[in-house]
A and B are shown apart, each in its own frame.
Chain A
Amino acid sequence: MQNSANSAKSRGIIAFAYNTDTTDYVSIAERTLKLASKTLGLPYTLITNSAQDYDNQRYDTDIGKFVQWRNAGRYQAYELSPYDETLVIDADFLIFNQTFAQVFEYQHWDWQVMRDATGLTQKYPVAMGPNSLPYVWATAFVFRKTPAAKSYFDLIRRIQENYGYYRALYNIEQRNFRNDHAFAIADMALSGYTKTSQNSLLGPMLHIDNAVTSITAQGNNFIVRDPDRAYVVPRTNMHVMSKSYLQSEQFREFIDSESA
């Protein structure tokens, strides 16, 4: 008799993308998902909509001012993912490293979220405000469809809907809603209010936080150029902030060559 508990679980990658006045997130996500799928050998699903009511703002590194941003609804990943085990990535997260494929082989988690980040040109805060929670990055996270994971996403939804209250409660410095904050609060609450949660995704994550003009491959490295200088980074996962570059023809060609 076959044991259904041992049957193969479906695995895949999803990304959320909602276009704004300034950024075509859908086309960016299509490219990054194609790359992630090639690197990890997993199928992918893009979740989008013609419009989203929730409007937020983010700082644009290319033009140096705040622009429209539609980042709400990440908690819907649990309901909308067609997979039993899902890796969720931001539309601007490039996966070049197969490390995430190993995560699925590790059994002792219901969800895992990225905890450490390294900036290419700047240091990132380790806490979300003075005397606040340690930072987590909802840029990349994994979850399994389990009751515990469902509780996690239900709590994230509640935090988003009552963000003013939770922001005050956890002394969060930034005023606008960020998934990072909601994920951190929910993770801590469901980990017994300890700061030493075991739900850490293998990292750290590299933030390409400058206004990128080009990324080119050279051997085992990438050369990232901005208007002022060049950086050499290994073939690792990168969170590219420069939306101007991500919408450029150079980026399309770069992804096409890397995912060929």
Chain B
Amino acid sequence: MPFSIREYHSDIPEIVEQLKQATDYQINRKILQEKIQTDLHFTHNGGLFRATPELIAFVHAWRSTNEIWPWNGGDSMFMEDTYGNPIRIESCAEFYSTACQHYQRVMNEWHQQHAELRKLRKV
């Protein structure tokens, strides 16, 4: 059946309406990622830290080392925080637990919100 000009024009408002409802997944994803990177921060003994895999791995390794060589300084240590200040960590175990819990909570939240975003390509 030949294409009708009238039919073509009648589709335009519908296409425009669909475009208005479409959302840019890449922009949305980037904004969510930035929020999560901020949310990963937590405070400990007056210092501000970001719960990263590197921080968690380091504290875990430090604790393991400490069990083998206890003269390292017991359960206390010093850590450089986000702003470059040395912060005393009284209990390495407590700090490790706080960092792991915070990391897990925020990453769960990220995963959940990211899944929601993927569904919301059209609103």
- Chain A residues near B (Cβ < 8 Å): 97, 99, 102, 105-109, 118, 120, 198, 200, 202-204, 206, 218-221, 223, 225, 227-234, 236
Task: Flag if A218 contacts B120 (CB, 8 Å).
Answer: yes
Known: A118-B31, A120-B27, A220-B116. 11 other contacts (CB 8 A): A97-B38, A106-B47, A106-B83, A108-B81, A118-B34, A204-B34, A206-B31, A230-B123, A231-B24, A232-B123, A233-B28
For A200, list chain B residues within 8 Å (CB). 83
Task: Flag if A230 contacts B47 (CB, 8 Å).
Answer: no
Instruction: A233 to B25: give the CA distance in the assembly, Å.
Output: 10
Task: Flag if A102 contacts B28 (CB, 8 Å).
Answer: no
Contact check: which of B21, B27, B30, B35 meets A97 at CB < 8 Å?
A: B35
Task: Flag if B31 contacts A230 (CB, 8 Å).
Answer: no
A-B pairs with the 10 shortest C-beta distances? A107-B46, A105-B43, A236-B35, A106-B48, A232-B28, A198-B83, A234-B32, A230-B123, A234-B35, A232-B120
Cβ of B65 under 8 Å from chain A: no
Task: Flag if B113 contacts A221 (CB, 8 Å).
Answer: yes
Contact check: which of A102, A198, A234 meets B31 at CB < 8 Å?
A: A234
Smallest distance from the beta carbon of A9 to chain B beta carbons, Å?
13
* A contact patch SS: loop
For B117, list chain A residues within 8 Å (CB). 221, 232
Instruction: A230 to B17: give the CA distance in the assembly, Å.
Output: 11
For B120, list chain A residues within 8 Å (CB). 218, 221, 223, 232
- Chain B residues near A (Cβ < 8 Å): 19-24, 27-28, 30-32, 34-35, 38-39, 41-43, 46-48, 81, 83-85, 109, 112-113, 116-117, 120, 123
Task: Flag if A108 contacts B47 (CB, 8 Å).
Answer: yes
For B38, list chain A residues within 8 Å (CB). 97, 99, 202-204, 236
Q: Identify the closest chain A residue to B83 (Cβ).
A: A198
For A120, list chain B residues within 8 Å (CB). 27, 31
Task: Flag if B43 contacts A102 (CB, 8 Å).
Answer: yes
Task: Flag if B84 contacts A198 (CB, 8 Å).
Answer: yes
Q: Identify the closest chain B residue to A223 (Cβ).
A: B123
Contact check: which of B31, B39, B48, B113 meets A220 at CB < 8 Å?
A: B113
Task: Flag if A230 contacts B21 (CB, 8 Å).
Answer: yes
Show 29 A/B contacts (Cβ-Cβ < 8 Å), sorted by A: A97-B39, A99-B39, A99-B41, A105-B43, A105-B46, A107-B46, A108-B81, A118-B30, A120-B31, A200-B83, A202-B38, A218-B120, A218-B123, A220-B112, A220-B116, A221-B117, A221-B120, A223-B120, A229-B22, A229-B24, A230-B20, A230-B21, A230-B22, A231-B28, A232-B117, A234-B31, A234-B35, A236-B34, A236-B38
Task: Flag if A233 contacts B46 (CB, 8 Å).
Answer: no
For B20, list chain A residues within 8 Å (CB). 225, 227-230
Instruction: A193 to B24: give the CA distance in the assembly, Å.
Output: 40
Known: A234-B113, A236-B31. Is A102-B42 also a contact (CB below 8 A)? yes
Smallest distance from the beta carbon of B83 to chain A beta carbons, Å?
5
Q: Identify the closest chain A residue to B31 (Cβ).
A: A233
Instruction: A232 to B28: give the CA distance in the assembly, Å.
Output: 6
Known: A102-B42, A107-B46. Is A231-B27 also a contact (CB below 8 A)? yes
Known: A118-B31, A234-B31. Is A106-B23 also a contact (CB below 8 A)? no
Q: Identify the closest chain B residue to A99 (Cβ).
A: B38
Task: Flag if A202 contacts B41 (CB, 8 Å).
Answer: yes
For B43, list chain A residues within 8 Å (CB). 102, 105-106
Q: Identify the closest chain B residue to A112 (Cβ).
A: B83
For A225, list chain B residues within 8 Å (CB). 20
